[in-house]
A and B are shown apart, each in its own frame.
Chain A
Amino acid sequence: AQSVTQPDIHITVSEGASLELRCNYSYGATPYLFWYVQSPGQGLQLLLKYFSGDTLVQGIKGFEAEFKRSQSSFNLRKPSVHWSDAAEYFCAVGSYSGGGADGLTFGKGTHLIIQP
């Protein structure tokens, strides 16, 4: 079965500093990978996704992520964070079984705190 690990439960970053959130996945075939962001009291918004092709994907709000098959990783990066980036970030993997796409398997999330 597929799984997603986000090793950092909390990360604190100063405003204007760079950010990297880690994500490792376990899945036997080519994964479909996603990063979602959840602001307090809100639903989930897709930041970016990787299906195939270029392993560096660009997303919304200045985020990017790099797929590294050899490391089973899909880390999220942003060169300069803003206070509004404070939120919960979820990495997810999509899989196939029974001829169709399954629901997403999520990591446990990383809570991002921005220091002024």
Chain B
Amino acid sequence: DTAVSQTPKYLVTQMGNDKSIKCEQNLGHDTMYWYKQDSKKFLKIMFSYNNKELIINETVPNRFSPKSPDKAHLNLHINSLELGDSAVYFCASSQSFLSYNEQFFGPGTRLTVL
């Protein structure tokens, strides 16, 4: 059973398009995250949600809009895609944001903007 899953695994699209990446965790965790890994493999937190509520928003352009329909899902919608959005996006989850716990990562979604 996959603990944290993301779809799609690969996403190739044109500049200006709108796209979504889906994330689901079956661990029963309360907190979910989105990270961006750039071409130099640097990983940076984008958002975190706890029980469907936004906790962290790390100065990400408002073209990025996370949505959490329930605590097991955290989707990332990106409007008006730009070349600089090309990256690998990782979803992660942890038990709770109230105390520190291991974060479990999904396999990543490689987004390529042409």
Spell out A's residues near B (CB within 8 Å): 32, 34, 36, 38, 42-46, 49, 51, 88, 90, 94, 96, 98-106, 108-109
Contact = CB atoms under 8 A, between A and B. Distances in A.
Contacts of A44: 43, 90, 105
Interface residues of B, number: 30
A101 B106 contact: no
A94 B4 CA distance: 20
Given A43-B106, A43-B108, A101 B45 contact: no
Contacts of A49: 102
Given A43-B108, A44-B90, A104 B103 contact: yes
Given A43-B90, A43-B108, A44-B105, A101 B98 contact: yes
A8 B25 CA distance: 33
Contact of B105 (A43, A88, A99, A102): A43
A42 B45 CA distance: 18
27 contacts: A32-B100, A38-B41, A42-B107, A42-B108, A43-B4, A43-B90, A43-B106, A44-B43, A44-B105, A49-B102, A88-B41, A96-B100, A98-B55, A100-B50, A100-B98, A101-B31, A101-B100, A101-B101, A102-B45, A102-B48, A103-B33, A103-B48, A104-B45, A105-B45, A106-B43, A108-B40, A109-B42
